[in-house]
């Protein structure tokens, strides 16, 4: 894909999503960190339902550490892998207290050293909480980057590297949210909504004309996409 098409994609997404932001509800960097850890293999909606009850009771490292694993499990049972996540959240809370004065660190290395925090989670926290120019590649961003031709890659790390290289600087701050929201609501996995896609013209998806012609009644593809959801 040439630079002009990439510019056109981001320009269209910026117009379609004028106020991009995380859909995980939070008010502090720590709440965001906890919410992102809980969101692994779970929907933002399910996490928000759980944290709406959890955060009024425990929303600081001190309070979560005191709540303990079993106490935390009671609030997040509706979230997938809740037992593992409870252990990680309590462990990272203790680590923040022991090594960072109870504050969420602002470097990737320190974030990734926390239990349950990988590169994607670190990138989300750095971007959303601290305004760093990072792009977190989840399944939505991976799919959109490959399907549109914006920044194809065989794995999330390769896609991230290419996105960082080809994304025009003025869009870097919000690129992650443009792509994830586009993938979540328009460029969906099974039945992309090409008929109403804001980046239809510059997109290089080979089947876009077929899905655009089918409109809202388009059936699901007989063969599943090789891209992860």
- Residues marked as catalytic: 120, 138
Residue with tokens 């926390």: 114
Q: Which long-range contacts (CB under 8 A, 24 or more apart) does 126-134 make?
A: 127/173, 127/176, 128/21, 128/22, 128/32, 129/29, 129/32, 129/33, 129/104, 130/29, 130/106, 131/173, 132/106, 133/172, 133/173, 134/108, 134/176
> Is the separation of the CB atoms in 176 and 24 below 8 Å?
no
Q: CA-CA distance, 112 to 101, in Å (whole number)?
A: 17
- Among residues 50, 34, 53, the alpha carbon closest in space to that of 125 is found at 34
Orientation angle between helical segments 82-99 and 61-76, nearest 10 degrees: 180
Distances (CA, A) of 59 to 24, 52, 54, 121, 146: 14, 10, 7, 18, 37
81: left (phi over 0), alpha (psi -120 to 50) or beta: left
């Amino acid at each position: 894909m040439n630079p002009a098409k990439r510019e056109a994609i981001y320009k269209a997404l910026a117009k379609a999503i004028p106020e991009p932001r995380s859909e995980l509800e939070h008010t502090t960097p720590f709440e965001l960190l906890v919410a992102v850890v809980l969101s692994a293999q779970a929907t933002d909606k399910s996490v928000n339902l759980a944290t709406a009850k959890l955060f009024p009771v425990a929303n600081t490292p001190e309070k979560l550490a005191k709540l303990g694993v079993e106490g935390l499990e009671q609030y997040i049972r509706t979230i997938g892998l809740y037992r593992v996540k409870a252990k990680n959240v309590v462990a990272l809370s203790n680590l923040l207290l022991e090594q960072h004065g109870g504050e969420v660190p602002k470097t990737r290395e320190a974030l990734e050293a926390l239990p349950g925090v990988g590169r994607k989670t670190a990138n989300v926290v750095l971007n959303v909480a601290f305004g760093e120019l990072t792009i977190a590649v989840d399944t939505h961003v991976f799919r959109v980057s490959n399907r549109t031709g914006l920044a194809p890659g065989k794995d999330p790390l390769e896609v991230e590297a290419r996105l960082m290289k080809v994304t025009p600087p003025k869009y870097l701050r919000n690129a992650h949210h443009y792509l994830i929201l586009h993938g979540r609501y328009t460029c969906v996995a099974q039945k992309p909504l090409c008929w109403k896609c804001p980046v239809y013209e510059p997109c290089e998806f080979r089947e876009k004309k077929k899905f655009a012609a089918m409109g809202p009644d388009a059936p699901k593809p007989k063969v599943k996409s090789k891209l992860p959801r």
